[in-house]
Structure 1
Amino acid sequence: MSSETPGASTSRAARKDDHVRLASAQQTEGPRRTDFDDLEFVHHALDGTSPERVDLSVTLGDWTWPTPFYVNGMTGGTETTAKINRDLAIAAAETGLPMACGSMSVALDDDQAAKGFTVIREENPNGFVMGNLGAGRSAEDARRAVELLGADALQIHVNPVQETAMPEGTRDFSEWLGGLAEIVAACPVPVIVKEVGFGLSRRTLTRLSEIGVGFADVSGAGGTDFLRIENDRAGAHDFSMLTGFGQSALACLLDAPPAWTNPPAGTADSEPAPVLLASGGVRNPYDVVKALACGARAVGVAGTFLQTVLDHGPAGLVELIRTWQTQTRALFALLGAQRSTDLTGTDLLVRGRLGEFCRLRGIDVVALAHRTDVHSRRNQQ
């Protein structure tokens, strides 16, 4: 998941295998507390509905996805990662989940590496598939990546923290915004700008809107830690001083500009409303529901799905996804939400580190705890 310049494809392929190995090691370390644990719902015991009334599908611009979560970008480009992408694609095809791949930069420079990505379309010819490139690649590269994968959308990841720690990473980010604008203007499919685990701030989302970006995945801290991965690869010359850098997905969602979380009602002549996605440390369906309640329109899952497919293959991942779908429907019903957008009216208690972030950023946590009061007053008017 790095923004890369052409060349050195062999070393980049080895790096991808390193990333999978080190990411898997993080997943097996056991539970850790994250900002998801600092968010609670106020329980209203008589507000629930029937699971049969719940519609899990979500509309994102011109897209309709069957569930509010998807397989986020992970890997590709080597023999090992090709098998992972194959298994992920099989599970995505079986369950109808949209799926993204990892950075395709290596595939644009090495025809052999391309097989690690094209296997996704071979196994999932009719599914919703997202390509992936790093900031710093050209608009022409973006078009090539879309064509190679037959992609329905293209993720462009911005990862300055990872690049700073990466031994072979870039340290010059001065051209990224302009390059993103060129890709957005030229790409034949919608562009989704995403972080890789350090969050997209309010300021960053505003700047993305200004260059025409209509989809953004805040991809916050709390999941796979790419700073730690690069530090492990760097040895003694690491950037461990940056441990804890960045914001969580929930922090980014609560801090997002109103245009991203409460877009105005559109007209036939208006610009499409921007779509906010979230990922980073999503462990279970309850985390999915919490992100949706904070304004995400859909939620990406990477580490949890990766470890499942490594341990149990595509059949194991299909079983897990089916369980998540059933549990997500049950959680919607418990909270009285017939669709995902209903969750943005639930009452939220923001505690701990996440609550401190909200207070420092001027976010009204009291108002978040009384959203149903506002809804009731509106219905009475």
Structure 2
Amino acid sequence: MSTPVPDRAFDPVAEQASRKDEHVALAVGLQPAERPNGFDDVAFMHHALPGTSVRQVDTSTMVCGVRWQLPIYINAMTGGTEATGRLNADLARAAAGAGMAIACGSQHIALRESARADSFSIIRREAPDAFVLANVGPTVSPEAAQRAVDMVEANALQIHLNVAQELVMPEGDRDFTDWAERIAAITAAVQVPVIVKEVGFGLSRRTIAALAAVGVAAADVAGAGGTDFITIENSRRDAQEYSYLTGWGQSAVLCLLEALDGPAPVQLPLLASGGVRTPLDALRALALGAQAVGVSGHFLRTLVARGASALEAELGAWAEQLRTLMTLVGADDVASLRRTDLLVTGATAERARLLGVDLAALARRSTR
């Protein structure tokens, strides 16, 4: 009789690494046209005498006390494997060439297995002068969060919130009772500013207020309309039984509108991401109050489909087009964009009205 062969021991780090590569493949396969996008509900009122000049436009913005050359940045994507390390190297080189900030993907895998750290630290090597954001979830210890910062010599730390993703992920977390307290502990301990971001389901005004109360430096509303991690995680389930949750959450536009209006201003600087496809989408988010706009899926698809040189060319084109668009709407700088007249219609307008947003005032704010 043959000797039974024991089952190979489950390796959680190897499983997580496999999931990293799988996430990239699934994210690249998700095309933005397949999902509604709140940016399509926002239009600028055209004024034919803008009184601006392209050469006078200042595209810089302040984030966490540092002046960024551009208000567009490469947002968190990936890392942890050989393949994703190559992607991070290409993304970092492109960011360095364009003068953009860049965030790395979740570093949990490298905190568990130090040999995988190079797939993240390569970002700093390839972009030595860039503003780099480290990335962890709220479940790590403050000490681990600081190690993540040190790993990429980060200028700031992103803490990602992904409850919807975790609940649909077959092996995901199920207990979120202490996340606010954990964020507060990390914020108090790390030596760089903390930015809390969603992963694509949006931050409500209530959530933003709670984050302000625990002392974070800024929040990225990261709304629905871009990479949908419910769809990604559901595709990894045998029965794919959560397909009805695709599209869950608020768009970045709705998040910004809710934060913009209300009985008192939101007391936290905001960034925006989620479904940004063009420089016009970035302009819309900036006009709605974002200090900077993050892009993930669109830049990733450009890199994978067309290569590093195409991504570098695209980042340069985005910078040039943003300057052109700011001239078109009469904005000499990013702050001036918040005085442009915006027309919000469609499903976004319906939802914004339910939240008490005064859309008519938004359409006439340049005359105030």
Is 1:198 the counterpart of 2:201? The answer is yes
Q: How does 1:260-275 map to 2 (within 5 A)?
A: 274-275=268-269
Residue of structure 2 aligned with 1:68, choices 64, 67, 71: 71
Q: Report the alpha carbon displacement of residue 32 of structure 1 after superposing the two structures with TM.
A: 4.8
- 2:318 alignment partner in structure 1: 324
Q: How does 1:283-362 map to 2 (within 5 A)?
A: 283-362=277-356
**Taking structure 1 as the reference length, what is the TM-score of the superposition?**
0.91
- Structure 1 residues 99-153: Cα deviation after superposition (integer angstroms, max 9, x where no partner): 0000000000112211110111111122111110012111111111011111111
Rounded Cα–Cα distance in structure 2 between residues aligned with 1:274 and 1:30: 32
- Structure 1 residues 236-274: Cα deviation after superposition (integer angstroms, max 9, x where no partner): 053223222100001000101669x957xxxxxxxxx63
Moved more, 167-176 or 110-119: 110-119
- 1:365 alignment partner in structure 2: 359
One-letter identity of the residue aligned with 1:328: L
Rounded Cα–Cα distance in structure 2 between residues aligned with 1:98 and 1:78: 22
Is 1:21 the counterpart of 2:20? The answer is no
Rounded Cα–Cα distance in structure 1 between residues aligned with 2:34 and 2:238: 26
Rounded Cα–Cα distance in structure 2 between residues aligned with 1:59 and 1:157: 21
Q: How does 1:162-311 map to 2 (within 5 A)?
A: 162-256=165-259, 274-311=268-305
Rounded Cα–Cα distance in structure 1 between residues aligned with 2:38 and 2:268: 25
Secondary structure of 2:46's partner? Answer: coil
Q: Report the alpha carbon displacement of residue 172 of structure 1 after superposing the two structures with TM.
A: 0.7
Rounded Cα–Cα distance in structure 2 between residues aligned with 1:87 and 1:238: 36
Secondary structure of 1:236's partner? Answer: coil
Secondary structure of 1:208's partner? Answer: helix
Secondary structure of 2:293's partner? Answer: strand
Q: CA RMSD in A?
A: 1.7
**1:165–1:238 CA contact under 8 A, matched in 2:** no
Identity %: 50
- 2:104 alignment partner in structure 1: 101
Secondary structure of 2:270's partner? Answer: strand
- 2:7 alignment partner in structure 1: none
- 1:83 alignment partner in structure 2: 86
One-letter identity of the residue aligned with 1:281: G
One-letter identity of the residue aligned with 1:19: H
Rounded Cα–Cα distance in structure 1 between residues aligned with 2:309 and 2:244: 41
Equivalent pairs, count: 358
Rounded Cα–Cα distance in structure 2 between residues aligned with 1:190 and 1:353: 35
- 1:148 alignment partner in structure 2: 151
- 1:114 alignment partner in structure 2: 117
Q: Report the alpha carbon displacement of residue 60 of structure 1 after superposing the two structures with TM.
A: 2.1
Rounded Cα–Cα distance in structure 2 between residues aligned with 1:44 and 1:144: 50
Rounded Cα–Cα distance in structure 2 between residues aligned with 1:54 and 1:31: 35
Secondary structure of 1:233's partner? Answer: coil
**1:288–1:299 CA contact under 8 A, matched in 2:** yes
- 1:45 alignment partner in structure 2: 48
Q: Report the alpha carbon displacement of residue 31 of structure 1 after superposing the two structures with TM.
A: 6.3
- After superposition, the Cα gap between the structure-2 partners of 1:32 and 1:246, relative to the gap in structure 1 and judged at 3 Å, is closer
Rounded Cα–Cα distance in structure 2 between residues aligned with 1:31 and 1:54: 35
Residue of structure 2 aligned with 1:8, choices 5, 12, 15: 12
Moved over 3 A (4+): 29-33
- After superposition, the Cα gap between the structure-2 partners of 1:237 and 1:105, relative to the gap in structure 1 and judged at 3 Å, is same
Moved more, 106-115 or 309-318: 309-318
One-letter identity of the residue aligned with 1:210: A
Rounded Cα–Cα distance in structure 1 between residues aligned with 2:339 and 2:221: 21
**1:230–1:238 CA contact under 8 A, matched in 2:** no
**2:45–2:341 CA contact under 8 A, matched in 1:** yes
- 2:57 alignment partner in structure 1: 54
Moved more, 31-40 or 50-59: 31-40
**1:205–1:257 CA contact under 8 A, matched in 2:** no
- After superposition, the Cα gap between the structure-2 partners of 1:258 and 1:42, relative to the gap in structure 1 and judged at 3 Å, is closer
One-letter identity of the residue aligned with 1:355: A
Q: Report the alpha carbon displacement of residue 96 of structure 1 after superposing the two structures with TM.
A: 1.1
Rounded Cα–Cα distance in structure 2 between residues aligned with 1:235 and 1:340: 47
Gaps of 5+ in 2: 1-10
Gaps of 5+ in 1: 1-6, 264-272, 375-381
Q: Report the alpha carbon displacement of residue 33 of structure 1 after superposing the two structures with TM.
A: 3.9
